[in-house]
A and B are shown apart, each in its own frame.
Chain A
Amino acid sequence: MRGFLKTLFGDARHVGTVVVCVGAVVVVMHTPLAAAAGFLLPVALLAGAAYLARH
């Protein structure tokens, strides 16, 4: 089961990175900066991909 989930969604570091990025944007969407979410999420996810590439 663990292999199945890891194949589909990656390891804990990977899932955690995406959860942090999306979670941050969910918070931003509830602030006056919501209009910036369209720029924030792509940049955050690219940074996440770069982080995962290094680790």
Chain B
Amino acid sequence: MRLRILSCLAIVTLATALLSAQNWPRFRGTENGRIADDPALPETWSETENVRWKTDIPGVGWSSPVVWGDHIFLTATIGAGSEPQPIKGLYDPGDENGRTRATGDHRWMIYDVDFQTGKIRWEHELARGVPKVQRHIKNTFASETAVTDGERVYAYFGSIGLLTALDLNGRRVWMQELGAYDGRQAFGTAASPALHGDHVIVVHDNATESFMAAYDKRTGKEIWRVKRDETENWATPFIWENELRTEIVTSGLRKVRSYDLSGKQLWELSGMTVNVTPTPFASHGLVFINSGYPGQSPRPVYAIRPGASGDISLKPDQTSNEFVVWYQPLLGTYNTSSLVYGDIYYTLLDRGFLLAHDVKTGKQVYGRQRISAEAAGFTSSPWAYNGKIFLLSEDGDTFIVAAGPEYKLLGKNSLNEMSLATPAVVRGSVLIRTQSKLYRIAKPQK
């Protein structure tokens, strides 16, 4: 029976992988940054080399592009007044702790960019007004990545508590006001919505009314809502379709919690550090969870097998238990999500180091490797294809590292503009969003 389930899962996974070659429907795609090998995919680029097109995107937003067919969806906000510009790197922002409050009107936008030409096919102003919450100077009011199923695109802006669905022609299908709340440090929001079956799942952890809720993707009607004992997090919920069940894994400071598809909690895990941002993801039958604010410790990574219930937290001195397969106390990342490629779990530390561990055991394959003395930092999550790992720095430099048990830097592709959004890779093209532009990187057509 178990073999049959695993076979079915393998078929589903393969089908999903094939599908992902055509579309990139969510943050990090369906394979969490892993792309099927394709000799057509570009491995070198610059502002001019292998650029099929580049398009100015009005406004600002660190949300990633999502793609369905020839539709590339992006979100942004356009502010009327002058605002502090984001600063690269990790830094001590001073007395205000990095918080800033916008005073001018903003427009919350969604764009549909034509995959073939780079032209903005349509744009939709979803809301206009003064942001209700503050943000960290490095954050934007449009950091949540949209999600699409090819019928509609679902966009969520925690900064105004707006969840909406538009059809592929840019017509609004529905809109829900979920409430906008500051988190404990008032750094703004970033957790993207997730999509499963007929439900759009939103997690909004804040200092007033933290919740997770599911909405009917056709009507926007709230199906269920659960309260969460959290005050701020930025991690996107992950739909974990494992060999036993499908569950919604949410990462948070007080608890990592997993829920069934009706919002009932299945298991929980304590032991995270502050400022939880990396998105959980699955590979090799395990779900990986981490948090790694550099100013605190531990900065844990947990690899968890399916089937847990109740509290699966490690006891002091434990490094594993029935469900925690492995644990690393100081491997967590601050902003980047990690990557599994082959049998290696790659960690991209925000300060510019790459580490490799065995995905099944957590044992070190190689330790900290400084990627470049010049790199300002990394926020974008890594991706991989053709035996190579791609690491996009905040300078807009993509460093290319050979996949495998030995660290080897192969090259650097520069776009010379601040970049925090995680790219999308689809149909032989890499879509990279910089601070002002969207690039379609692709080899020349023969």
Partners in one complex: no
Query: Chain B residues in contact with chain A, CB under 8 A?
Result: none
Residues of A within 8 A of B (CB): none
